[in-house]
Structure 1
Amino acid sequence: MEVIYLLCSIISTFFTSLALSLLLPPFHALLRLRRPSRASDSYVSLYQGTVWHERRRPVHHAFKYAVRYAFIDLDRAIEAPPDHLSADEARRVAETDGPVYTFPTYLITRSLTDTCFLLTIPRSVGYEQNPLSLYYCYDLEGTTQHLKKCIAEVTNTPWAERVSFVFNPNSDLVAKPLHVSPFMDMLGNWRIRTNTPGENLIVTISVQHPELGDYFVATLKAKRVSSSLLSDNAMFFWLMPHKVAIWIYWHAFKLWWKKVPFVQHPRYTDPAYKEEALIRDQKLQCCPAVGGENDNHGYLAGRSSGSRWFKWRDAKWPWS
Structure 2
Amino acid sequence: MSPRAPALYRSVITHVRAGDTPYGLRHRTYLWLVDLDALPRLPGPLRWLARFDPRDHFGGTAGTIREGLDRFLAAHGVETDGGRVLMLAHARVLGYVFNPLSVYWCHGPDGALRCVVAEVHNTYGGRHCYLLGPETADSPARTSKEFYVSPFLPLAGDYRMRLPEPGERLGISVHLEGAGARRLTATVRGTRGPATPSAVLRAAVRHPWSTAAVSLGIRLHGIRLWLRGLPVQPRPRHEPQEGMQ
Query: TM-score category by the smaller chain?
Result: 0.7 to 0.9
Q: Distance in 1 between matches of 2:241 and 2:87?
A: 17
The partner residue of 1:252 within 199, 207, 222 is 222
Structure 1 residue 180: deviation in Å?
Answer: 0.3
Amino acid across the alignment from 1:160 = G
Q: Is residue 44–residue 73 contact of structure 1 (8 Å, CA) maintained in 2?
A: yes
Q: What residue in structure 2 maps to residue 81 of structure 1?
A: 53
Question: What's the counterpart of residue 131 of structure 1?
Answer: 100
| SS of corresponding position for 2:24 | strand
Shift of 1:266: 1.8
Q: Which structure: larger Rg?
A: 1
Q: Counterpart amino acid of 1:259?
A: G
Q: What residue number does 1:59 align with?
A: 21
- Distance in 1 (CA, whole Å) between partners of 2:236 and 2:242 is 23
Give matches, 1:4-23, under 5 Å: none
Q: 2:115 aligns with which of 149, 158, 177?
A: 149
Letter in 2 for 1:208: E
Q: What does residue 290 of structure 1 align with?
A: none
Q: Which residue of 2 aligns with 1:300?
A: 242
Structure in which a larger fraction of residues adopt helix: 1
Q: Offset at 1:246?
A: 2.3
**2:187 matched to 1:219?**
yes
1:68 aligns to 2:30 (yes or no) = yes
Q: Match of 2:45?
A: none
**Cα drift, residue 66 of structure 1:** 0.4
Deviation of 1:88 (Å):
4.9
Matched residue SS, 1:262: coil
Residue 291 of structure 1: aligned partner: none
Quote the Cα distance in structure 2 between the aligned partners of 1:120 and 1:243: 15
How many residue pairs get matched?
Answer: 213
Distance 1:202 1:51, change over 3 A: same
Q: Are positions 1:186 and 2:164 aligned together?
A: no
Q: CA deviation at 1:178?
A: 1.0
Instruction: Specify the code of the residue in structure 2 equivalent to 1:90.
Output: L
- Matched AA of 2:53: P
Q: In the alignment, which residue of structure 2 is the partner of 1:108? A: none
Is the 8 Å Cα contact of residues 96 and 212 (structure 2) preserved in structure 1? yes
Q: Which one of the candidate residues 162, 183, 202 is aligned to 2:127?
A: 162
Q: Could you tell me which residue of structure 1 aligns to residue 84 of structure 2? A: 115
- Where 2:152 maps in the other structure, the secondary structure is coil
User: What per-residue deviation string (whole Å, max 9, x for no partner) do you get for residues 132-159 of structure 1?
Assistant: 1111112366xxx3333111110001x1
Q: What is the CA RMSD across the aligned residues, in angstroms? A: 2.6
Per the normalisation by structure 1, the TM-score is 0.60
- Unaligned runs of at least 5 residues, structure 1: 1-41, 98-112, 268-272, 275-297, 302-310, 314-320
| Counterpart residue identity of residue 221, structure 1 | R
Percent of paired sites with the same residue: 25
Secondary structure of 2:7's counterpart equals: strand
| TM-score normalised by L of structure 2 | 0.77
CA distance in 2: counterparts of 1:234 and 1:263, whole angstroms: 40
Does the Cα contact within 8 Å between 2:6 and 2:40 map onto a contact in 1?
no
Of the two structures, which has the highest relative contact order with CA contacts closer than 8 Å and spacing of 6 or more? 2
Gapped regions of structure 2 (runs ≥ 5) = 42-51, 59-64
Contact 1:124 1:234 in 2 (8 A): no
